């Protein structure tokens, strides 16, 4: 301890820190996608939304000097991309998955194009709350420097869980997702419900992107997302469209992403490619354990184009 090292304890601490630091974008994107998919539509474009959110948050934070304005801008950008997706999907015989892929490419391409001048400047970052004040070990303090967005995400998961079950809005979204005929019979516009659900989903994904560029890793560059948006969309499937499970899945993914570098730092150096692949191995393992050839996925909204 004399040299400031905490030895092998780095690994669990890094996994904990990673769960907090890395999971937030996963959490926001998967909660957003959860809302969208519960309404009966898949928005695969959230990878593009995430990257656009990261870029616009960084740009607005840099220009205005206020990172919170950046977060808001990211959310609005995301909601607009969501509205675009929902708008195109409202047209007859449009496949939502194909539109999603197109919007994913559109979003990332547009973000790279508009973000060119933003790579060099340094924008003001979001503040962190120090939850490690009780500890005098610097590593613990560093791991427990938590961003407000993470806390909002953590709070959002049970709120959504509750809202889906007990509120009128939750019921409407679920109705649109389970049986559009029933929703129509009740006198509601399915397209309008899905438009709103996709916009809210996009808003959350955009906010998730702002976390990437404004907090951790904390700057804008083109490799920033490296597929986290698409991973988060997949997370929703294995979280069975349940917001609470989305939270746990995101935390597990964040922790797993930290495992590879942490093990190397304590000298477990062989097979680092394998440890770097930990999040994906985790996905495969959970998929294999929970899948069954005898039944369809439990919890899948009936109106989704993949289950219909």
Partner 1 sequence: MDFGRISRRHLLQGGAALTLGAAVGARPAFAAETTIGFIYVGSRDDYGYNQAHAQGAAALKKIPGLKVVEEEKVPETDAVEKTIESMTNLDGATLLFPTSFGYYNPHMIKMANKYPKLRFEHCGGLWSDKDPKNAGSYFGYIDEAQYISGIVAGYTSKSGKLGFVAAKPIPQVLRNINAFTLGARLANPKATTQVIFTGDWSMPVKEAEATNSLIDQGVDVLTCHVDGPKTMVENAARRGAFVCGYHTNQSPLAPKAYLTGAEWNWEALYPKFVKMIASGESIPNFYRGGLKEEIVKTSPFGEAVSAEARKHADDVKAKFLSAEGYAIFKGGLLDNKGKTVIAAGTDRGQKDPELEKMDYLVEGVIGATS
* DSSP character string of 185-252: HTT--HHHHHHHHHHHHHHHHHHHHHHHHHTSS-S--TTSSTTHHHHHHHHHHHTTT-HHHHHHHHHH
Interface with partner 1 includes 80 (CB under 8 A)? no
| Nearer Cβ to partner 1 (46/190) | 46
| Nearer Cβ to partner 1 (180/250) | 250
CA atoms within 13 A of residue 277's CA, in its CB half-sphere: 7
Task: Select from 68-76, 117-125, 180-188, 237-245 the region that touches partner 1 (CB under 8 A).
Answer: 117-125
Interface with partner 1 includes 149 (CB under 8 A)? no
> Shortest approach of partner 1 to residue 284 CB, angstroms?
18
63: exposed, middle or buried (Cβ count in 10 Å: 0-12, 13-18, 19+)? middle
Among 260, 282, 283, 301, binds partner 1 (CB under 8 A): 260
Q: How far apart are CA 42 and CA 233, in angstroms?
A: 9
Residues in region 224-243 near partner 1 by CB under 8 A: 224, 226, 228
Interface with partner 1 includes 217 (CB under 8 A)? yes
| Nearer Cβ to partner 1 (115/202) | 115
| Nearer Cβ to partner 1 (26/203) | 26
CB atoms within 10 A of CB 266: 15
| DSSP alpha helix (H) spans, 116-189 | 138-143, 148-166, 168-178, 180-185
Interface with partner 1 includes 258 (CB under 8 A)? yes
- Torsion of the alpha carbons at 76, 78, 81 and 82, rounded to the nearest 10: -100
Q: How far apart are CA 302 and CA 121, in angstroms?
A: 47
> Shortest approach of partner 1 to residue 176 CB, angstroms?
35
Measuring CA to CA, how many Å separate 52 from each of 11, 18, 102, 205?
33, 23, 14, 9
Task: Select from 14-22, 72-80, 146-154, 229-237 the region that touches partner 1 (CB under 8 A).
Answer: 14-22
> Shortest approach of partner 1 to residue 262 CB, angstroms?
5
- Interface residues with partner 1 (CB under 8 A)? 3-6, 10, 13-14, 17-18, 21-22, 112, 116, 119-120, 122, 139, 142-143, 212, 216-219, 221-224, 226, 228, 257-258, 260-262, 264-267, 269-270, 272-273, 276
């Amino acid at each position: 301890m004399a040299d400031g090292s905490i030895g092998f304890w780095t690994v669990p601490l890094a996994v904990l820190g990673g769960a907090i630091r890395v999971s937030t974008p996963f959490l926001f994107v998967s909660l957003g996608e959860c809302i969208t998919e519960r309404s009966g539509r898949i928005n695969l474009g959230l990878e593009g939304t995430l990257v656009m959110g990261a870029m616009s948050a960084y740009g607005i934070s840099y220009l205005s000097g206020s990172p919170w304005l950046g977060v808001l801008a990211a959310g609005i950008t995301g909601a607009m991309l969501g509205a675009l997706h929902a708008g195109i999907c409202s047209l007859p015989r449009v496949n939502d998955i194909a539109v999603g892929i197109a919007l994913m490419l559109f979003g990332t391409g547009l973000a790279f194009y508009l973000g060119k001048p933003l790579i060099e400047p340094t924008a003001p970052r979001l503040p962190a709350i120090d939850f490690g004040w009780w500890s005098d070990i610097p590593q613990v303090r560093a791991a427990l420097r938590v961003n407000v967005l993470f806390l909002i995400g953590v709070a959002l998961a049970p709120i959504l869980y509750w809202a889906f079950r007990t509120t009128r809005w939750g019921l409407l979204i679920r109705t649109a997702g389970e049986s559009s005929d029933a929703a129509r019979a009740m006198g509601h516009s399915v397209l309008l419900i899905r438009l709103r659900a996709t916009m809210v989903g996009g808003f959350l994904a955009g906010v998730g992107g702002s976390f990437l560029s404004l907090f951790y890793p904390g700057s804008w560059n083109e490799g920033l997302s490296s597929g986290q948006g698409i991973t988060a969309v997949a997370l929703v499937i294995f979280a069975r469209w349940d917001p609470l499970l989305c939270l746990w899945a995101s935390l597990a993914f964040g922790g797993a992403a930290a495992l590879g570098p942490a093990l190397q730092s304590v000298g477990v150096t062989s097979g680092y490619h394998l440890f770097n692949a930990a999040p994906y191995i985790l996905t495969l393992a959970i998929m294999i354990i929970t899948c069954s050839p005898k039944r369809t996925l439990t919890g899948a909204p009936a109106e989704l184009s993949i289950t219909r």
